[in-house]
Structures are given as C-alpha cells and as structure tokens.
C-alpha cells in the first residue's frame, strides 16, 4: 500500500509548517541532525524516516537498513522486546491516533541494558493520518518497571485496563477536568447520568451541572479551591442533567498531578437519589414511630394520672373522716402507695415529654432563695432525727430573677430528695450561690452534699442515664423509676445549665450540683406585672379542705353587709341563681350588669365601689375578657373573678392573662364560691391601697412565704412537690409546705393591719401544721460550737463563709432609725419547734437585743407593714434580711 | 328530692333548692325553673328561625346562651344538646375538630334542637309534678 510521503514532520519543534515549500529541506536536515532518537512511521506502521541519533544509538549502519521496514518487528529485533512491551507501544500508538494527542509509553525492553520509553506523536492533516512520529527516550532500568511488569496481565496494559474500566463504568460519572475546570474526558456513566454526549460536553465548564443557587454561592469555584488546598473535596447536593431534571449527587473531586505539576481534576459523581429517598423514608418512619411512642406515653400517663388524682383525693377525704387506727393504717398505705405510683407516672410523663422535645421552659418570676428553703423544708420533714440539714445561701443571690421556678424546683427537689433518701445519718448540706453573672443573666450554682451511702465509681458514669438506678442491695430498698436524675439533667440543660456529681471530699457520701441560668429582671413594672400574676395564681394553693368552708362562710357572713359586688351576667337565669347564692351567703349589695360594656361603665364611674366583680365571659356587646382588659386599662385593680362554662384546662390561665384574678367554672359550686370569695374578700389585701403599699405587701408576702412561688396550677405544683412527701394526716389537701404565716387572714377594714408575728406563731402551734414555720432565733454560740450537734430537725442557715459580708440593717420604725449589727460570723439556726419560737421571742436570746430578736423573727412585719411607719430598707439590707428568712 | 334521672344533676339542682327559704313555698327555685322554661321556649323559637335562615353564628350564640342557664340549673340533657348546637354553629364537632360542611352542621343542629325540645318538654312535666304548679 502506497502512502504519500510528506517529508519528516517536525511536530515537536512547535512549527506546523508541514509541507511549506521553502523550508522542507531545512526541516529534513533538522530532523536528521536532531539529538533525539526519532523514528517516523507511516499510517501502515512502516518506518519512513530515522534520525541519525537513533541510528547511532541502535547501531544501525544506515537509514536504508530500516526505512521501509515494519515498525514492530524492527523494534523487537533491535531491543529484543517482549510481546508485552511491544503491546505498550501498539497501545500508545493506537491511543495517540484515536485521541489525536501525544502519548508516552511505559518503559520498554527491560531485558536490554537500558529501558526505553516512547513518545508517540500522531500527525493529522484534516482527518487524515499523515504519519506518526516516535521519539525514543532512554532511561535507566528501575525497580518500578519490574514491579509494574509483574502486575499487568499479559495482553493488557495498565493504561488500557484503567481506560477500559473508566469507560465501561456506568454507575459512576468519571471524568477529568482541566486546570480551569473544563471537562476533558467523558465516560459512559457520565453520559448516562448527565445526559450529555461526549461531543456536547468536552470543553464545557463543569459548573454546567450546578443549580442556580449553587452557582450564585460560587460553589463550583469554591470546590476547586478547596480541592487545590486539600487535595480533594466531597460534596452532596443537587446536580442538573441536560434535560433540566435534577438528582441528588455525591461528588468527589480530586486534584490530579503529573510529575508534580497540577494538570487538572478527577471528578466522580454518583447518583444518590435512590439512597436519599430510602433514607428519608427511614427517617420519616423512625420519627413517626418515635412520636407515636411519646404520644402514647404522654396520653397513657395522662389517662392514668387523672383517676390517680381522683383516688388520692378520695384517700385524703377518707383520712379526714373518723377511722379506727387499723383503718387509718390501711388508708395510709393506700395513700402512700398511690403517691409513689403517681410519682412514677409523672417521671415517665416528664421523660417522654423531654424525649419528644415537647418540654418547654416557662418564663416566670423565680425567688431562688425561697424555693431552696422551701425544698429543704419539705424534705426535712421526712428525715430521721439523725440527719442534720444545713443551708448555705450566698449573700449575693438575687432576690428575684426570671426563669422557670417549677423546673428549678423540680431539679432541686430531685437532688435533695435523693440525698434524703440515701442518707441515714450525718448531714445534708445545700448551698446556693451565683456562679457567674453578666449584663442580662445570673448563673446560679446549687450544690447538695450528703453523707449518705455514696456512689461507687463504676456507677457514677451512668448516673444521668435514663432508667438506671444504683441500688446496693439485692432487694430493692429504694423506690423509684431511675428517671429522676436523667430528667433533672435534661431540665438543667433546658435552663442553660449543667448537672454533675462528685464524691463527697470530706467523708463518705455524694455531692450533686447543678447550674441554671436566669434572666435578670430589669424594670419595676416587670416585677409588678409578675407579682400581680402571682397573687392571681396563689389562689389554688390556699384551697382549704371542706371543713374550713363552714368557718369561711361564717367569716364571710360577718363582713357581708359591707361588701359590694358587681355581677356581670347576660343570662337572667344565671343572674338569679348567682344572686340567690350570694344572698344565701349574706351578700345583699349586688349590682347587676348584663354585658361587659355596662360593667366597664359601672366600674369606671365608681372606681372604688366594688369589692369583687364576678364576670361572665361569653356575653353579647362586650365579652368578659375585653371588659376585664378595659377595667385594668383604666388602672382599677378590683378583683375580677371569671365565671365561665368553658371547663377546659388552660381556661383559668387564659382568664388570668386577660387581667382577671381568679376563675370559677360554671355551674358555680357553692363551696368553691365560698373559698374563692374567702380568698378575695378575707385574705387578699384591699386593692384600694396604693401601689407602693401593694408592692411592699407583695414583697413581704414573698419574703415570709418561701413556698409562694409562681405556680400555674396547684396540682402541678403538688406533683412537682410530691417527692418531698410533705403529706400529713392533718394537712391533706395542701400538699405544699405552706407556713400559715404566709398569708395572715385580713378582714375588711383591718386588712391593713398584719397579724403580729407572735400571734401568727401561736396560730401555727394551734393548727399543728406539719410544716411549721421556720422561725429564726439567734442561737449563735450553740451552732458554732457544735455545728453538727444542733437540733436534729433543725435547719441551719449559715452565712456562706466565703461570701459573707458584715451585715447592717438600717431601718426606720416610726421615724426612729435603729441599727442592728450582726457579726459576720453569726449563724442563724432555724427550727420547726413552735415552742422554741415563743421562747426566742420572749427572751430575745443571742447577741441581738430583745427588740431586734422580735424583729428577726419576722423582720418584715415591722419594716414593711407598720401602718404609719415610713419604710426605708436599702437593697443590700433587704438582701441580708431576706437571708434570714425561710 | 325526686329522681329526675339523668335529666338533672342532683348536686347542682339541690344547691338551687337550698336557696329556698322554705320547702313548702319554694319561692326562689320555682319561679326560676318556670323562668327557665319560658327562656327555653323563646330560645327554641329563635333557633328555629335561625335554622331556616341557615344562620350558624346566631345558632351558636343561642346554643351558648341556653347552655349557660341549663348548666346553672343542672339540666344536663338540655345542656348537652345546647353544647352540640353551639359547637356546630361554630362549624366544629363536639371534639373541637373543624367541620366545614354547613349542611352537616345544620343537620346536626336540627337533630340536637329536636332532642333539646323533647327533653325540655319531658323535664317540664317532671318539674310540674315536683313544684305542683
């Protein structure tokens, strides 16, 4: 076969002037005299030219000895190359021709003294192959060559194997990009996946596969940048096909280097659409089942809780009746077991809520010191006399902060309850302090140290895991679900805090601590808003048992003639019944309004006329909510009691939100009406007193009554409280430790006058309240001398030795300033023995004068509530005072 | 006190009766109950009218109104029917789920109204016996 010979091509010279007449001779000379060993072959692989250098290196006598010969036999003869090595050459030539680019083979002929690599340069004129130039590069024999030699199976070069592999893979788009990100190669997988044919895509920039958002975010560029920096980059995201549809892709880009020079990027794209949809189906199924589980748990717990409460109430009522001792024992067991079961259910409910993420932290006012003392008090009553309680409240603890009081209490109750459960002798020490403080918040650290059974090291790691309970005995001596601490942990984290455990460093026992973050309260208005809510909510806490209704009714009857009501009710029948009911209680002065608008006008025209407004909610013209808002807007603080037939959970809260103070469901139960009126007419301070008085009263109230914390619902509070098990046969319905000193009854015009402290104490003793008030006496020497030896049931309120500041309390009583100096090392021991209180009051023992001893019993009585005494208590002094209070 | 069956919540109704100064006279409860039946009669007339006008809003209001007084007196059966009227007047089922189909609502209300009427006349008979009016 004759081929046109077009002279020696000099493609490597950079010139493309093939066949340019005047330079042909020059090029021949150049070719011939080139220092490179060169062979030119025709399209039929016959040798057409050989450079002088090649002839000399291969010891060929003259060009004629090789020109016209077939390439392969000639090479084989010259280099004694094996068929495998010849195959490298043929593959490279085939490749070079197919791709119209140069190729370089691997080393050929390792058996001779030198190895050769061949650079193959195909020369085309238009689509016609003119010649192939081969340049023979001599190199030393290397180990690598040998190794490669052994890997490759006969008949298949590595290059070829990889090329075939890449070409054949259909599940992955594998292609190369040049250094600028333009597509250089394309395989079958890429074509299938992306829909572009090879011809369409080569040379295009790879950003063509990206969506608008990714392009706007400069994702393609960023990926190459990261790839250059890290060597590779992997990404999952949407990629677009030629037809505009998209698929979820996993993309790996690898920087490709050749001889240390960056030549481009390898890109592998995988279609994850199937996997992703499977994953999302799986996730959806999991979430669904998890939600179902939590819903189920929550519902079940609720379903169980409702009859449980019924049963417990019945037990409580039963305990109130006349029973034989044996009957009382049995009912007591029923009651106690019911309480345990209720706690278990509450734990599970909390846990399922927490696990389902349905637990929210409320924002309310928190009196940290009062919560801590009340928890301590409630737990203290359950302790054997051999356990001594110590309470440290750092002086820098804020009085009031914003947060979730219920959850804070729940954590503390759990930890203190545990300490009490596992401690049979020694002491339990509760310490609360401010861990850190910034512009907007306090982080409060509470630490509970006990001398109980302690926790073995191996159990410590799992303490906060759900359903784990460390129990040293084989018989389950300690009751519980093992959920308490895991709930406490979740709650602490919800409140921006942490929880932890360490062994008691001093002696056998445990230290549990937790932190919680509280917002600072910024304005007085905020305090006022919170407090009026508090007063509104306080109602149910004071709910008294039935036998009190009779006495309440009697008390009401004595003041009924001077009390004025406004009844707002559109329905004549309901009006008549309410009028009848009020009349039967002795209330004759009842004005009527048949809609909200009338009511607002009546109250506005006589802002101080009514003692109580009874407000229907659903009425024509203006409803009760709107009317209440209008009355409040006019600055009138008359107690408004909502009456509505909506008997749904949350109704009460909704009414309170509208500015109403309390809520009675319809049809109105007479006993409940008596209790509610008793609270608003007998117990609550008169709203007609000035704002400042109100605030002082509230402060006083809070200070005196540690359990007076914002609780949305007495039941909930009771549930949260239960762990302390403050129940006692003489105090059944009020589970919460409620010192009667908290709200001394005030009647009618006497409302301004607080019951003197001594009387309050006497009342307590008479009531035989289980959670008798913590009164303060300055039994300084005693406690200091025998810190662990003080009254077994006593709580020591010990000034924090680290933070303690000298205290001075300035106050003006009846215009005469008096100062009480209390040495900083003082210790105030509190006791729940009512009798001791009167001793203290009588004798005024300790370092404090008798005048101030009385004051220290209930300091706020004097400072705040002396009728005609201007009160000026500095914030610092208040804090110190507060320290002394339960 | 006679047994009114499940028509009347005895606890609530006895509270009403207790407000009478004398059991012989019943000068508080009797006029009240009479008053109620008058009110119920008037309300039913208004409800019939609203039904014809397909005025769900009015029906809901009227239902709430009569529910209030029947609940106050402890007339449970009437109260429950009124609750149904109120709810469907709000285009809601008894459970509070949405019921956008007005025809369904009107049908439910018609049924409840008929029941309320028959319960009312039944109860009126019993009350007549009790109060001997």
Neighbours of A80 (CB within 10 A): 11
Distances (CA, A) of A52 to A19, A42, A394, A563: 22, 19, 101, 131
Residue labelled with tokens 């003197």: A756
Give the closest-approach CA distance of B32 to chain A in angstroms: 7
**Taking the domains of chain B in order of start, what are their residue ranges?**
7-131
pLDDT at A499 over 60: yes
User: Which residues in chain B are closer than 8 Å to A574, comparing Cβ atoms?
Assistant: 68-69, 72
A645 near B CB under 8 A:
yes
**Both structure tokens of B17:** 């009766």
Same domain, A544 and A516: no
pLDDT at B26 over 70: yes
**Both structure tokens of A53:** 């250098």
Same domain, A448 and A569: no
- Give domain status of residue A741, yes or no: no
- Give domain status of residue A504, yes or no: yes
Same domain, A378 and A414: yes
The pLDDT-based confidence of A161 (bands split at 50, 70, 90) is confident
Whether residue A572 and residue B35 make contact (CB cut-off 8 A), yes or no, is yes
> Max CA-CA distance within chain B?
52
Whether residue A581 and residue B28 make contact (CB cut-off 8 A), yes or no, is no
Same domain, A339 and A383: no
The pLDDT-based confidence of B12 (bands split at 50, 70, 90) is confident
Which pLDDT value is given to residue A659? 79
Whether residue B35 and residue A666 make contact (CB cut-off 8 A), yes or no, is no
Least confident of A176-180, A250-254, A467-471, A871-875: A871-875
> Which residues 503-562 on chain A approach chain B with CB closer than 8 angstroms?
none
Same domain, A565 and A699: yes
Contact B94, B108 (CB under 8 A): no
What pLDDT digit, counting tens, does each position of A194-250 carry?
A: 888 888 888 889 888 888 888 888 888 888 888 888 888 888 888 898 888 888 888
- Give domain status of residue A199, yes or no: yes
Of the residues A571, A578, A619, A666, the best mutation for testing chain B's interface (the one with the most B CB atoms within 10 Å of its CB) is A571
pLDDT at A690 over 60: no
**Both structure tokens of A459:** 């159990």
Whether residue B65 and residue A570 make contact (CB cut-off 8 A), yes or no, is yes
Whether residue A666 and residue B74 make contact (CB cut-off 8 A), yes or no, is no
Beta bridge partners of A501: A512
Nearest CA in chain B to A620: B61
Answer left, alpha or beta for residue A866, where phi above 0 means left and psi between -120 and 50 means alpha: beta
Q: In whole angstroms, what is the distance from residue A679 CA to residue B76 CA?
A: 30
Whether residue A573 and residue B39 make contact (CB cut-off 8 A), yes or no, is yes
Q: How many domains does chain A have?
A: 6
Across A743-761, average pLDDT: 39
Nearest to A382 by CA among A722, A141, A95, A652: A722
Give the closest-approach CA distance of B101 to chain A in angstroms: 25
Sign, CA torsion A770/A329/A542/A724: positive
Q: In whole angstroms, what is the distance from residue A652 CA to residue A130 CA?
A: 98
Same domain, A281 and A253: no
- CA angle A305-A306-A312, nearest 5°? 80
Of the residues A577, A590, A619, the best mutation for testing chain B's interface (the one with the most B CB atoms within 10 Å of its CB) is A577
A667 near B CB under 8 A:
yes
At residue A403, what are phi and psi to the nearest 5 degrees?
175, -155
* Cβ neighbourhood burial of A553 (10 Å; 0-12, 13-18, 19+): buried
Asked which of A655, A684, A715 is the last residue of a domain, the reply is A715
The C-alpha torsion from A561 through A564 and A570 to A574, rounded to 10°, is: -30
- Give domain status of residue A733, yes or no: no
At residue A502, what are phi and psi to the nearest 5 degrees?
-150, 155
Contact A237, A248 (CB under 8 A): yes
pLDDT at A742 over 60: no
Asked which of A105, A133, A155 is the last residue of a domain, the reply is A155
Same domain, A558 and A653: yes
Nearest CA in chain B to A644: B68
Looking at domain B7-131, does it have CATH number 1.20.120.160?
yes
Which pLDDT value is given to residue B63? 92
Q: What's the mean per-residue pLDDT of chain A?
A: 71
- Give domain status of residue A857, yes or no: yes
- Give domain status of residue A727, yes or no: no
Same domain, A515 and A474: yes
A618 near B CB under 8 A:
yes
A584 near B CB under 8 A:
yes
Same domain, A861 and A767: yes
What pLDDT digit, counting tens, does each position of A760-781 carry?
A: 333 333 334 343 333 333 333 3
Whether residue A584 and residue B19 make contact (CB cut-off 8 A), yes or no, is yes
Whether residue B28 and residue A580 make contact (CB cut-off 8 A), yes or no, is yes
- Give domain status of residue A2, yes or no: no
pLDDT at B119 over 80: yes
Name the residue with higher pLDDT: A214 or A298.
A214
- Give domain status of residue A198, yes or no: yes
Q: What is the CATH number of the domain that holds A250?
A: 3.30.450.20
pLDDT at B116 over 90: yes
Across A714-725, average pLDDT: 34
How many alpha carbons fall within 13 Å on the CB side of residue B64? 19
Which pLDDT value is given to residue B33? 93
The pLDDT-based confidence of A92 (bands split at 50, 70, 90) is confident
CB-closest option in B18, B36, B71 to A667: B71
CB-closest option in A576, A583, A645 to B68: A645
Contact A787, A802 (CB under 8 A): no
Same domain, A543 and A497: no
Same domain, A619 and A597: yes
- By DSSP bridging, strand A807-813 and strand A816-822 are antiparallel
> Helix H segments across A196-324?
198-201, 212-216, 219-230, 273-320
Answer left, alpha or beta for residue A7, where phi above 0 means left and psi between -120 and 50 means alpha: left
Determine which helix (DSSP H) or strand (DSSP E) holds A139, and give its type and residue range: strand A128-139
Give the closest-approach CA distance of A440 to chain B in angstroms: 42
Q: In whole angstroms, what is the distance from residue A694 CA to residue A752 CA?
A: 10
Whether residue A572 and residue B39 make contact (CB cut-off 8 A), yes or no, is yes
List of residues 6+ apart from B54 with CB closer than 8 A: B102, B106
Same domain, A641 and A659: yes
Whether residue B15 and residue A620 make contact (CB cut-off 8 A), yes or no, is no
Whether residue B68 and residue A572 make contact (CB cut-off 8 A), yes or no, is no
Tell me the residue range of the domain where A254 lies. 169-271
What pLDDT digit, counting tens, does each position of A372-421 carry?
A: 888 887 787 777 888 888 888 888 888 788 888 888 888 998 899 888 88
Give the closest-approach CA distance of B44 to chain A in angstroms: 15
Whether residue A618 and residue B68 make contact (CB cut-off 8 A), yes or no, is yes
Whether residue B19 and residue A580 make contact (CB cut-off 8 A), yes or no, is yes
User: Which residues in chain A are closer than 8 Å to B19, comparing Cβ atoms?
Assistant: 577, 580-581, 583-584
Can you give the C-alpha Rg of chain B in angstroms?
Answer: 16
List of residues 6+ apart from B29 with CB closer than 8 A: B16, B17, B19, B20, B131
Distances (CA, A) of A669 to A320, A576, B13, B16: 21, 15, 11, 11
Least confident of A348-362, A803-817, B18-32: A803-817
Give A512-515 contacts, CB < 8 A, sequence gap 24+. Answer: A512/A415, A512/A418, A512/A419, A512/A447, A512/A448, A513/A445, A513/A446, A513/A447, A513/A448, A514/A411, A514/A412, A514/A415, A514/A445, A514/A446, A514/A488, A515/A435, A515/A443, A515/A444, A515/A445, A515/A446
Three-class SS of residue A532? helix
Across A556-575, average pLDDT: 88
Q: What is the CATH number of the domain that holds A703?
A: 3.40.50.2300
What pLDDT digit, counting tens, does each position of A234-248 carry?
A: 888 888 988 888 888
pLDDT at A806 over 50: no
């Amino acid at each position: 076969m004759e081929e046109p010979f077009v002279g020696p091509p000099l493609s490597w010279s950079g010139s493309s002037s093939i066949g340019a007449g005047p330079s042909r001779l020059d090029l021949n000379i150049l070719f011939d005299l080139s220092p490179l060993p060169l062979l030119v072959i025709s399209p039929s692989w016959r040798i057409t030219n050989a450079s002088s250098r090649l002839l000399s290196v291969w010891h060929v006598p003259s060009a004629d000895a090789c020109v016209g010969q077939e390439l392969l036999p000639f090479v084989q003869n010259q280099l004694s190359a094996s068929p495998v090595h010849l195959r490298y050459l043929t593959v490279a030539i085939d490749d070079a021709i197919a791709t119209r680019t140069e190729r370089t083979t691997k080393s050929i002929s390792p058996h001779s003294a030198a190895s050769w690599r061949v650079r193959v340069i195909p020369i085309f004129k238009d689509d016609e192959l003119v010649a192939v130039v081969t340049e023979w590069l001599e190199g030393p024999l290397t180990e690598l060559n040998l190794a490669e030699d052994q890997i490759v199976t006969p008949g298949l070069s590595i290059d070829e194997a990889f090329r075939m592999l890449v070409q054949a893979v259909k599940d992955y788009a594998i292609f190369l990009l040049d250094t600028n990100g333009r597509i250089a190669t394309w395989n079958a997988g890429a074509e299938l996946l992306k829909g572009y044919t090879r011809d369409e895509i080569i040379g295009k920039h790879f950003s063509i596969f990206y969506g608008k958002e990714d392009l706007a975010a400069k994702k393609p560029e960023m990926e190459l940048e990261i790839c250059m920096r890290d060597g590779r980059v992997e990404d999952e995201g949407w990629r677009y096909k030629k037809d505009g549809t998209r698929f979820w892709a996993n993309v790996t880009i690898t920087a490709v280097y050749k001889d240390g020079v960056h030549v481009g990027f390898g890109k592998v794209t995988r279609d994850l659409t199937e996997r992703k949809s499977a994953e999302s189906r799986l996730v959806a199924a999991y979430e669904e089942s998890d939600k179902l589980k939590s819903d189920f748990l929550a519902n079940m717990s609720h379903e169980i809780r409702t009859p449980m409460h019924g049963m417990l109430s019945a037990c409580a009522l039963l305990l109130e009746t006349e029973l034989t001792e044996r009957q009382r024992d049995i009912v007591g067991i029923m009651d106690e077991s019911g309480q345990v079961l209720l706690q278990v259910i509450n734990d599970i409910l909390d846990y399922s809520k927490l696990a389902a993420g349905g637990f929210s932290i409320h924002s309310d006012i928190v009196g940290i010191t009062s919560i801590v003392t009340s928890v301590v008090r409630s737990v203290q009553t359950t302790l054997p006399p051999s356990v001594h309680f110590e309470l440290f409240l750092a002086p820098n603890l804020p009085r009031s902060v914003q947060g979730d009081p219920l959850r804070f209490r729940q954590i503390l109750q759990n930890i203190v309850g545990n300490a009490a459960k596992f401690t049979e002798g020694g002491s339990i020490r509760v310490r609360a302090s401010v861990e850190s403080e910034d512009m907007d918040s306090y982080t409060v650290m509470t630490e509970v140290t006990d001398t109980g059974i302690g926790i073995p090291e191996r159990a410590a790691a799992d303490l906060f895991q759900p359903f784990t309970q460390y129990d040293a005995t084989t018989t389950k001596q300690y009751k519980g679900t093992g959920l308490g601490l895991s709930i406490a942990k979740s709650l602490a984290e919800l409140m921006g805090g942490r929880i932890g455990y360490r062994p008691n460093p001093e002696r056998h026992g445990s230290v549990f601590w937790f932190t919680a973050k509280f917002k600072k309260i910024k304005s007085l208005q905020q305090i006022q808003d919170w407090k009026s809510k508090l007063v509104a909510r306080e109602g149910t806490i004071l709910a008294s048992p039935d036998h009190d209704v009779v006495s309440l009714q009697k008390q009401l009857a004595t003041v009924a003639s001077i009390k004025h009501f406004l009844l707002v009710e559109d329905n004549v029948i309901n009006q008549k019944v309410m009028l009848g009911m009020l009349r039967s209680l002795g209330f004759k002065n009842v004005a009527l309004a048949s809609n909200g608008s009338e009511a607002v006008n009546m109250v506005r025209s006589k802002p101080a006329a009514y003692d109580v407004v009874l407000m229907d909610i659903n009425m024509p013209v203006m409803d009760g909510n709107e009317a209440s808002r209008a009355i409040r807007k006019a600055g009138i603080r008359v107690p408004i009691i909502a009456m509505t037939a909506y008997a749904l959970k949350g109704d009460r809260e909704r009414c309170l939100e509208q500015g109403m103070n309390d809520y009675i469901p319809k049809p109105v139960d007479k006993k409940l009406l008596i209790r509610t009126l008793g609270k608003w007419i007998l117990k609550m301070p008169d709203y007609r007193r000035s704002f400042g008085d109100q605030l002082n009263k509230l402060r006083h109230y809070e200070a005196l009554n540690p359990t007076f914390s914002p609780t949305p619902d007495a039941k909930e509070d009771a549930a949260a409280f239960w762990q302390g098990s403050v129940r006692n046969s003489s105090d059944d319905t009020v589970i919460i430790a409620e010192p009667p000193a908290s709200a001394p009854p005030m009647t009618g015009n006497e409302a301004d006058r607080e019951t003197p402290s001594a009387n309050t104490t006497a009342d307590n003793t008479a009531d035989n309240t289980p959670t008798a008030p913590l009164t303060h006496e300055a039994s300084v020497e005693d406690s200091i001398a025998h810190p662990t030896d003080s009254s077994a049931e006593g709580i020591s309120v010990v000034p924090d030795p680290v933070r303690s500041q000298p205290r001075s309390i300035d106050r003006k009583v009846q215009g005469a300033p008096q100062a009480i100096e209390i040495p900083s090392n003082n210790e105030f021991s509190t006791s729940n023995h009512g009798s001791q209180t009167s001793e203290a009051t009588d004798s005024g023992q300790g370092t404090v004068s008798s005048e101030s001893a009385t004051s220290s019993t209930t300091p706020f009585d004097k400072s705040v509530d002396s009728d005609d005494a201007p009160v000026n208590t500095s914030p610092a002094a208040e804090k110190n005072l507060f320290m002394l209070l339960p | 006190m006679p047994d009114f069956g499940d028509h009347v919540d005895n606890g609530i109704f006895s509270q009403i009766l207790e407000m009478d100064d004398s059991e012989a006279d019943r000068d508080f409860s009797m006029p009240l109950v009479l008053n109620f039946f008058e009110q119920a009669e008037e309300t039913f007339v208004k409800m019939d009218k609203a039904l014809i006008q397909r005025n769900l809003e009015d029906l809901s209001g009227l239902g709430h109104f009569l529910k209030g007084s029947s609940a106050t007196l402890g007339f449970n059966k009437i109260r429950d029917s009124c609750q149904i009227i109120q709810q469907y007047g709000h285009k809601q089922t008894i459970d509070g789920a949405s019921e956008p189909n007005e025809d369904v609502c009107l049908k439910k209300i018609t049924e409840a109204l008929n029941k309320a009427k028959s319960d009312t006349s039944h109860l009126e008979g019993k009350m007549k016996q009790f109060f001997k009016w």
